[in-house]
Structure 1
């Protein structure tokens, strides 16, 4: 067997029965579990991504689960040494909620919150797993069977069936085995999985999380036994270097909780189609029942508001409202007993403007944070990714469709908390790329990056939204939205996206003005060398202004192109970006 943090797999059949051991009320178990589950998801994220076809075939479920749990693990690792098990579970759940990514990550964060709520009330291990399953299911507007929800339900039912006298380890072992059986059966419960010939990615992720819990509980049992034997022999117990918080031995070499090889093999149909080929069926019919089409955007946001009786109705209200404008609606969180309530919301929608209005309405008595917009077809593209920060809600969808993960910093009719470095790092990881360009938030990289999950984060000077639009336009051939993962073979040396953007921005001049002065300004700014004009228009500009600008450009630079985009800002402001062709290199004498 191998160490749970070793990075290898095993063909062993999964968790085996052990004598009763410590449960999630033990801080050492919680710490070891968080560490082991995060390591397992990190190791298997690509394997899970490859079988991700529901609710959208965007190849990111493994990555989202890992990024979500990673936030919780970091918070647990930073918690005081004297923190109790229930307190650590609350820390784990809150950090996972705030850092949740994607549909699956948000559901996992609510599953963890259910554990924490039950632990705070002094529940048994079976109570915790039962409450976790119920919380996760209640967070989803339209639950689907054959998913992570089914695996959670199976785990809770098996935990209860273990009986009131069963210790924590037999209970979690039964729960993990039941989740594994549910994951194996998922293909028969969900048509889109049957079509693709795969098992549900979210259910596989939960199997890893529960397997890691078995490892942590088994390690606690083994550590306690070794300590007792050592004390009887007068040796003083295990070496201090092997002890986790709370005196529980850290799992090292007892077993490998990761057994996805067998599950993936069991889930594969002979001659099964590539999961990516199932994308059309995922965005059709029952997988997307409320109208989010193949061009849908993913919107996520964190809502903070006052605690109290009204907090109980916020999640239900948000679920109902978001379900009117999109699919894959999940809203998690609530009153955590700290004086404020926090929710994370997720939706796939073709109506970003309406979804943002819903978010703003929900934030009337609070604030929004981490307002994250992503085009579903742009996930996990290739080596390069882009994060763009903007306060223009009308541009968020355009930038996302051009391949960026967008952080919306304002303009939605509600208070949006200032971005912090962690927000940028999460967004960078969400691109699925190893190298990421950051547009629009240069100050956030200073001193950051301690936990960066990409190889390189490069800040591109971009003082205005025009810079972001022009940069993404220059990267159009490098960000092939909707194409399979992997940079297309363009021949020759690898393309330097940073250099491509730098060259495009070098020929850009941006002018800010009003609608009344825009025509005259363009008349002066454009000339024969102009190649492209980008016009960003606020909501109050006259309807005829785009045609007027196009007429001016046709006279000044007949071969030039004009791109007109709405910012969504109130008022009559106009930003004009004028690009000129780069000079031809001088020929050798």
Structure 2
């Protein structure tokens, strides 16, 4: 590690990514802290996979430092979940010290320090404790005259011990009888470093597994228990929603951004992690993570710190652990209030604006990351962005989308379309595929908007007159348009008394209204209306 050999970095990153991929399910099953949402292994794998792709795409003559820097930046931008964000900062710490040309022990110390500093409220018995143990052991080995190999072996040995004792250091882990998932994940990453150091090429590298790395001499192999997660909302903490975003702004004052952002986010949630900072150019980049039940306030924090910069990958999902499922849903919206509703209904949400900050255009890569975050083998994408083509087109559609078997993007150009499609998914018969249920609902939808609140009743009358009496009317109301809901209800009572009005706030300032009407076949009207109830109340 002293010279940061490029071949070593390539073998390490590839081997660590492969190890996390193989063991992701086992790590997911022991994920009980900070939230039992069964995704730590998946999040660590998806995060490091971004780094591995960057290394794989680097020029053949890239130096080891170049490769570490590329991996760390890609992992930061693509980090998923609490554990993934922490792992990305640990990698960033290694890259920072590698650029300074310091020793292996110092690199491990900076990685541990960076990871711990990124977490607003560090806890014992976690990935942070394991990183500290690895750094301490590495320092002792180096001070005793050991070379890079000895430092790495000492680090992984100490990390292994810290992971195996994690359940004795944290009451949540002790109650569940499991090791900390993030700690075990870091052991895999460090184990891959040792394996890479003794091999000449990726093809000769020994596979790294939990059985091989986590077990102690004479101990039974590591076996993940049956899922220890609860399928009810998490009983502890402040947040049932996870908000993540990437912040890019000028490098001036960058040192103060992360501490300020951590403090502000802790006021509205928990599990706060902010990573990143100065990139060595005129811009700085951070990734932020928080669990919250106060999404509007958390978004206001994000908007308030953006300044003249911008946000990207504004990602909202519900933290309740989901049963294994074939299809996931990615929903794009520019309505902040709908983001929470859609997330509670089971979608991974990409928020594209509407809360006072400049949000970069969503890219196909953003959609693929969100699709991977659903935890499903297939994903349905609902919304409008440049990477989504007409019905069935879009990023990953009809082909392998990363680790997913399929990503299907439907033509849902407005928030009304997204709401109607998600509501249909909540009540689709078990024999109906999600894309067929969504297509069927969207085929019967007629929309109008955006219209001024003062014109909403006239617009509704026009829709009813042209499309015939509806069964369901969806009205999305900006903040100052809320009183119009009563007027719309009166219009429906006069012209279509059998119709149900579903009025949902957008959370955007202004007096704009978006309308949609559906004539649902009578056999399905009840379930479609029930779907709106699912969307309003969550699942």
Deviation at 1:378, TM superposition (A): 5.8
User: Retained in 2: the 8 A contact 1:435–1:454?
Assistant: yes
Distance 1:451 1:72 in 2: 17
Q: Where do residues 365-444 of structure 1 align in structure 2 (5 Å cutoff)?
A: 365-377=308-320, 381-441=324-384, 443-444=386-387
What's the counterpart of residue 77 of structure 2?
Answer: 98
Distance 1:378 1:412 in 2: 28
Which of 263, 269, 281 does residue 338 from structure 1 map onto?
281
Which of 81, 85, 105 does residue 126 from structure 1 map onto?
105
> Is the partner of 2:479 in helix, strand or coil?
coil
Q: Where do residues 123-202 of structure 1 align in structure 2 (5 Å cutoff)?
A: 123-164=102-143, 165-202=145-182
- How many residues align? The count is 509
What's the counterpart of residue 328 of structure 1?
Answer: 271
What's the counterpart of residue 505 of structure 2?
Answer: 566
User: Retained in 2: the 8 A contact 1:49–1:59?
Assistant: yes
User: 1:242-287: CA deviations, max 9, x gaps?
Assistant: xxxxxxx214345332134885967779xx885124967x532xxx
Work out whether 1:276 is the aligned partner of 2:276.
Answer: no
User: Retained in 2: the 8 A contact 1:374–1:406?
Assistant: yes
User: Retained in 2: the 8 A contact 1:507–1:582?
Assistant: no
C-alpha distance 274-252 of structure 1, shift in aligned 2 (>3 A) = closer
What's the counterpart of residue 257 of structure 1?
Answer: 208
C-alpha distance 268-80 of structure 1, shift in aligned 2 (>3 A) = closer
What's the counterpart of residue 545 of structure 1?
Answer: 484
Which of 449, 452, 456 does residue 402 from structure 2 map onto?
452
What's the counterpart of residue 439 of structure 2?
Answer: 502
> Is the partner of 2:51 in helix, strand or coil?
helix
C-alpha distance 278-166 of structure 1, shift in aligned 2 (>3 A) = farther
- Largest Rg, 1 or 2: 1
What's the counterpart of residue 470 of structure 2?
Answer: 530
| Gap runs ≥5 in structure 2 | 525-539
Which of 44, 59, 84 does residue 65 from structure 1 map onto?
44
C-alpha distance 584-50 of structure 1, shift in aligned 2 (>3 A) = closer
What's the counterpart of residue 188 of structure 2?
Answer: 208
TM-score (norm 2): 0.89
Work out whether 1:468 is the aligned partner of 2:418.
Answer: yes
User: Retained in 2: the 8 A contact 1:440–1:463?
Assistant: yes
Deviation at 1:448, TM superposition (A): 4.4
User: Retained in 1: the 8 A contact 2:342–2:349?
Assistant: yes
What's the counterpart of residue 486 of structure 1?
Answer: none
User: Retained in 1: the 8 A contact 2:361–2:385?
Assistant: no
Distance 1:277 1:179 in 2: 28
C-alpha distance 380-122 of structure 1, shift in aligned 2 (>3 A) = farther
User: 1:218-249: CA deviations, max 9, x gaps?
Assistant: 11xxxxxxxxxxxxxxxxxxxxxxxxxxxxx2
C-alpha distance 260-474 of structure 1, shift in aligned 2 (>3 A) = farther
Deviation at 1:185, TM superposition (A): 0.8
Which of 510, 514, 520 does residue 575 from structure 1 map onto?
514
Distance 1:183 1:203 in 2: 5
Deviation at 1:103, TM superposition (A): 0.4
Deviation at 1:584, TM superposition (A): 7.4
Distance 1:100 1:65 in 2: 8
User: 1:491-535: CA deviations, max 9, x gaps?
Assistant: 7x5x41110111111111111122112123323434874221110
Distance 1:559 1:278 in 2: 37
User: 1:25-57: CA deviations, max 9, x gaps?
Assistant: 111110111111111111111111111111111
What's the counterpart of residue 514 of structure 1?
Answer: 452
What's the counterpart of residue 237 of structure 1?
Answer: none
Deviation at 1:65, TM superposition (A): 0.5
Distance 1:378 1:551 in 2: 41
Distance 2:369 2:230 in 1: 29
User: Retained in 1: the 8 A contact 2:187–2:214?
Assistant: no
Distance 1:556 1:387 in 2: 35
C-alpha distance 217-323 of structure 1, shift in aligned 2 (>3 A) = same
User: Retained in 2: the 8 A contact 1:199–1:267?
Assistant: no
User: 1:163-216: CA deviations, max 9, x gaps?
Assistant: 332111111111111111111111111111112121111111101111111111
Q: Where do residues 211-222 of structure 1 align in structure 2 (5 Å cutoff)?
A: 211-219=191-199
User: Retained in 2: the 8 A contact 1:196–1:278?
Assistant: no
Work out whether 1:300 is the aligned partner of 2:244.
Answer: yes
C-alpha distance 171-451 of structure 1, shift in aligned 2 (>3 A) = farther
Which of 59, 75, 93 does residue 54 from structure 2 map onto?
75
Distance 1:33 1:133 in 2: 18
User: Retained in 2: the 8 A contact 1:79–1:88?
Assistant: yes
Work out whether 1:355 is the aligned partner of 2:301.
Answer: no
C-alpha distance 251-517 of structure 1, shift in aligned 2 (>3 A) = closer
> Is the partner of 1:444 in helix, strand or coil?
coil
User: Retained in 1: the 8 A contact 2:229–2:321?
Assistant: no
User: Retained in 2: the 8 A contact 1:64–1:100?
Assistant: yes
C-alpha distance 574-260 of structure 1, shift in aligned 2 (>3 A) = farther
User: Retained in 2: the 8 A contact 1:32–1:251?
Assistant: yes
| Gap runs ≥5 in structure 1 | 1-21, 220-248, 479-489
> Is the partner of 1:275 in helix, strand or coil?
coil
